[in-house]
Amino acid sequence: MPLSPQPMIVSQGARSASVIVKVLILGGTTEASALARVVAESGIPALFSYAGRVASPRPQPVETRVGGFGGVDGLARFLADNRVTHLVDATHPFASQMSHNAVAAADRTGVRLMGLTRLPWTPVPGDQWQHVPDIEAAVDVVAGPAERIMLAIGRMHLDAFTRQPQHHYLLRLVDTPQAAIPLPHHTVTVDRGPFTVDGDRALLTTHGIDQVVCKNAGGTGADAKLTAARELGLPVLMIDRPEPPPRQEVHTVDDVLAWLGHDADLGV
């Protein structure tokens, strides 16, 4: 069933004629929520989509759906059924499958696509980072003697680290895990960002952490652990991002609004 609301005429000012705009935001990130807020405030018709990975996702000020679309075919059908004109892929930089599907479905339907992506974190003096291209490479790197590792990669790919069962892993998860954690030695802390440097310094110290393993998520919600690791002289194993699909991409909500034909100064 198509979701309401219906498309609306949105003026693009003096630059061009008015266009019909209805936006689908692929979410699951702080940036997606920020975009939903300003889009709602601007009166732009929009839908918001969550994958449904967390138990209680943040409520959004626009109509929200939860769950996969059913691949490229399902997403293309959804775009057409709901008369979506603009698709904003504001998913996490590691949500590679969804981003590739968005490109394919936009190509097929003619819906305009924009990626809203955080810039990656970059090291500053004092950081001790080692870069690896993916999770499997990170698992290879931690092949040494037992350590206490903060493994900040979410819950989806913990299985990979069963190859290194000697370590004690500190896992910070959004929800209390429903399934058994596959790692023999671990501690779970349930918390949701944004995190603070003081909090993360205390976390790393209390748990006697020797190194941090994390994905290069970028943004400010989860970078406190990097500052805390630097201050404590701890090494960080940084899993670099997968290659994004070929598409237009911006890094700020204002840039998305400008793309949608709105003046970013209009109260947003």
> Interface with ligand NAP by CB under 6 A: which residues?
26-29, 49-51, 53, 68-71, 74-75, 91-92, 94-98, 101, 154, 156, 215
Select 96 or 128, whichever has its Cβ closest to ligand NAP: 96
- For the bound state, the minimum distance from the C-beta of residue 243 to ligand NAP, rounded and expressed in Å, comes to 13
Show the tokens assigned to 149.
């590792």
CB of 36 vs ligand NAP, minimal distance in Å: 12
CB of 190 to ligand NAP, least distance (A): 15
How far apart CA 97 and CA 34 sit, in angstroms, is: 23
**CA distance linking residue 14 with residue 230, whole number of Å:** 50
Please identify the residue of the shown chain whose CB is closest to the bound ligand NAP.
Answer: 68
Q: Give whichever of 26 and 183 is closer to ligand NAP, judged by the CB atom.
A: 26
Residue with tokens 């990097």: 226
Q: Which is nearer to ligand NAP, 68 or 194 (CB)?
A: 68
**Quick one: 10 or 225, whose CB is closer to ligand NAP?**
225
Before 194, cis peptide (omega within 30)? Answer: yes
Closer by beta carbon to ligand NAP, 10 or else 172: 172
CB of 240 to ligand NAP, least distance (A): 13
Smallest distance, ligand NAP to C-beta of residue 233, A: 27
Q: SS3 of 118, please? A: coil
The upper half-sphere exposure of residue 235, i.e. CA atoms within 13 Å in the direction of its Cβ, equals 11
Sign of CA dihedral 84, 56, 179, 174: positive
Which CB, 10 or 50, lies closer to ligand NAP? Answer: 50
Instruction: Answer whether the bond into residue 5 is a cis peptide, omega within 30°.
Output: yes
| Lookup: tokens for 201 | 């310094």
d(CA 2, CA 4): 7
Q: Please state the closest distance from residue 231 (CB atom) to ligand NAP, in A.
A: 25
